[in-house]
Amino acid sequence: MANKEIIYRRIKKLREYISKLKALQKHSFEKFDINVEINWAIDRGLQLAIESCIDIGKEIITASDFEKPESYQHIFQILRKHQIIDENLCEKIQELTRFRNKLIHDYLYLDSKEIYMFFKKNLGYFEEYLYAIEKFMKKV
């Protein structure tokens, strides 16, 4: 696999983002809502973690010579098709990707509560994704 080094560097970065986001979980919504540094750290941390999932998926697809994805959503469908991730994880990572689009493009319409609740509810899916990717990487 030609892109193994790149994939492992992206995995390392994703692990760093997850660690930083986990450290921010101690903050209540009230603190998140009034503290711009915490708010921005969570917002940007989510964006970077989601981008990492996308980039890792793209690298695996390219390195494995799978079909070219037509969208970010399609990346995870391809990974599911090739049994790298399961159906449930595919759906959850696609949900993360849709949320990334909101963070980037629809930020005017997102409220703090929605971001905070998404953050609290979905952080574990990054770890599940990492586990599935690392399991796949051990096989190649």
Percent of the chain with pLDDT over 70: 99
* Residue count (the chain): 140
Could you read off the pLDDT of 46-100 as tens digits, one per residue? 999 999 999 999 999 999 999 999 999 999 999 999 999 999 999 999 999 999 9
Q: List the structure tokens of 27.
A: 């903050």
Identify the pLDDT of residue 2: 57
Q: Which CATH number does the domain housing residue 79 bear?
A: 1.20.120.580
Half-sphere exposure at residue 83, Cβ-oriented, CA atoms within 13 angstroms:
1
Quickly list DSSP for 103-121.
Answer: HHH-GGG--HHHHHHHHHH
* Residue 127 lies in domain: 4-139
Could you read off the pLDDT of 87-107 as tens digits, one per residue? 999 999 999 999 999 999 987
At 1, the pLDDT band (50, 70, 90 cuts) reads: low
Q: Where are the alpha helices (DSSP H) in the chain?
A: 4-24, 29-34, 36-63, 72-81, 87-105, 112-139
The average confidence (pLDDT) of the chain is: 95
Identify the pLDDT of residue 7: 95
Q: What angle do CA 116, 120, 123 make, to 5 degrees?
A: 120
Q: What is the pTM of this model?
A: 0.93
Domain count, the chain: 1
